[in-house]
Structure 1
Amino acid sequence: MTAALVAGLLAGFGIAIPVGAVATYLVALTARTSWKTGAFAALGVATADGLYALIAAVGGAALAPLLLPILLPLRLVSVLVLLGLAFWGGLKAVRHYRDRRMAVQRSDAPRHPYLSLLGMTMLNPTTVIYFAALILGSQASLGPVELAVFVLAAFTASASWQLLLACGGALLGRILTGERGRLATTLVSSCLITGFALNLLF
């Protein structure tokens, strides 16, 4: 059980720590809204990682081949979603700056940050392939209890990292509270998200 716990923690941190488009969006979202919004969004990301860990643990070897035929469509949908987020975020930032209305507004945040980030993260099939490879690569056969420990540990690791990113976004928001600061951080975030999206195509 200890081995499953350690493996789950390492797997969760392994998929969560690399900073990609979702992490960038999470930090920017928290910076321009609130810690509460960022925390809900962070838990949405962690839930997606936990669900994929569960699917991989239960599905085993049969899962990765089934995903391969739909890998390209999922990747294209993910690219479109990311580009839309980048464009809309940058457009709103410029409009607010021009109107001198860069203060935090309700419209800056999605209505359901948890569900929004959950859906965005679930668009990434690489996560489930990652967890499936870890399960298949394990020399030990995991029983139901060990699998449950693995999944919960992976979720906990991902949640802790995503909440840390949200905390960083909240601190960033406090530091960059001026109009120019919020404009700059939003535009930088939009550029990074665009770069991550385009990178998925090549």
Structure 2
Amino acid sequence: MSAAASATTLWPVLIAGVVAGYAVALPVGPVASYLVGLAARHPWRVGAAGALGIAVVDGGYALVTGLFGTLVAGLVQPVEEPLRIASAVVLLVLAARGALAAWRERTASGGDVRADPLTAPRAFARFVAITAINPGTVLFFAVVVTGGALLPDAATAGRTLVAAVFGIAAFLASASWQLALALGGTLLGRVLSGPRGRLGTALASSGLMVVLAVVMLLG
């Protein structure tokens, strides 16, 4: 593949990756709601780690579907329903855990709500896990790749390069939005830094997650 051909091929792929990354990241779903609520109760580094965990999965799924779009879609579709139910159950568990932890901390401290001892690595791993079991993300990228003929007549090396560019672009787009959400959550936590405000953000986040999980179950 010549340099001119590479540029001609990769620029549309780069743009497609950015658009796809924002398209999958911008809707405020249960994971994004959980990220904002968590960032409001923890230091910035914890929220940022969670945001990057989401973006890593988005970028990884974009890369995999860029390489094996049709195959991935075929593998995921038969188990889409169990994965959707599993996602909803995980969100319900996290919502209950967050609400109970916030209430117990407030009661134990006599009104002084403290964040649970969640570290940045744990936040990263947690958001990788809850994002990875969402079948909608991988199916979305598979549709973009296969339906949009993103990789027409590519040789093996060319296909790998194109898929890598697509995945990196999707990661960067997703990361920029998720980090903005985490920053918003951190600023919200500073504004609502009193005991009632911090408890309120925890309960509001958990409540929204429950609603979204129920919507997923009713699907």
Instruction: Give yes or no for contact 1:110–1:116 (8 Å, CA) kept in 2.
Output: no
Q: CA deviation at 1:191?
A: 0.7
Q: Is the 8 Å Cα contact of residues 49 and 120 (structure 2) preserved in structure 1?
A: no
Matches within 5 A, 1:49-60: 49-60=58-69
Q: CA deviation at 1:96?
A: 2.1
Please point out which of 46, 56, 59 is paired with 1:37: 46
Deviates more, 1:174-183 or 1:67-76: 67-76
* 1:124 aligned onto 2:137: no
2:146 alignment partner in structure 1? 136
Give unpaired runs (5+ residues) of structure 1: none
Q: 2:73 corresponds to which residue?
A: 64
1:48 Cα deviation (Å)?
A: 0.7
2:88: which partner in 1? 79
Report what 1:114 is aligned to. 124
Aligned amino acid, residue 161 of structure 1: W
TM-score (norm 2): 0.87
RMSD, aligned α-carbons: 1.6
CA distance in 2, matches of 1:111, 1:50: 19
Greater Cα radius of gyration, structure 1 or 2: 2
CA shift, 1:139, in A, is 3.6
TM-score by length of 1: 0.94
- Residues 107-163 of structure 1 deviation map (CA, whole Å, 9 limit, x = unaligned): 356861111100110010110000000001224526332221111000000011100
| Residue in 1 that maps onto 2:215 | 199
Q: How high is the sequence identity, in percent, across the aligned residues? A: 44
* Matched residue SS, 1:112: helix
Q: 1:4 Cα deviation (Å)?
A: 0.7
Q: 1:184 aligns with which of 182, 186, 200?
A: 200
The alignment partner of 2:117 has SS state of helix
- Superposed, which structure 2 residues align to 1:85-100 within 5 Å? 85-99=94-108, 100=110
How many residues end up aligned between the 2 structures? 202
Unaligned runs of 5+ in 2: 1-9
